[in-house]
Amino acid sequence: MSLAATAAVEAWINAQSCCGQGQPLTRGAFQAGRQPRSPADGAYALLARIPGGRGTLVAEDDTPTVARISALVYAGTVDAAETAAAALASAFNTLNGDPEPCGDTGVTVLVTDNVTEPAYQPQPADSGEQYCFQVAADFVLAKGM
């Protein structure tokens, strides 16, 4: 099965309590190429599917897909970026087998595995982005559950 894993995870993240005004991930999550450019307005996550997921699980019904999703979390201060990345990693860790919908994408996240804790990512001086931390996880996703 082929599915838009990054779009599904974006929808799931943006429905979490760590996102929104007054929360650590103020601006929410965006797919690569659609991100805002102003960390002064609050932290946001830039999502991309990266190598490392195990593809499909043939032993499961509806052949779920495993997608490794990386989130680069940007903010105007190092503390805000790390706090937002830690909140996102914590949200990933709550996915322990109780299926959750990924917004209106028609995809359900079943569980996550191999969650990495926030890691500082230096930014080029001319990038316009001040501080960044990366978190990642393997998402087990199924369509139409």
- Tell me the pLDDT of the chain (145 aa) as tens digits: 345 899 999 999 999 999 998 999 999 999 988 777 665 678 999 999 998 766 555 455 557 889 999 999 999 889 999 999 999 999 999 999 899 999 999 999 999 999 999 999 998 877 666 899 999 999 999 987 6
Whether residue 12 contacts residue 31, with contact meaning beta carbons closer than 8 Å, is answered with no
The C-alpha atoms of residue 105 and residue 12 are separated, in whole angstroms, by 9
The tokens for 75 are: 């903010």
The pTM of the full predicted model, rounded to 2 decimals, is 0.87
**How many CB atoms sit inside 10 A of residue 126's CB?**
5
Comparing C-alpha atoms, which of 21, 107, 104 is closest to residue 69? 107
Residue 125, Cα to own-chain centre: how many angstroms? 25
Break the chain into its structural domains and give their ranges: 5-143
Whether domain 5-143 has CATH 1.25.40: no
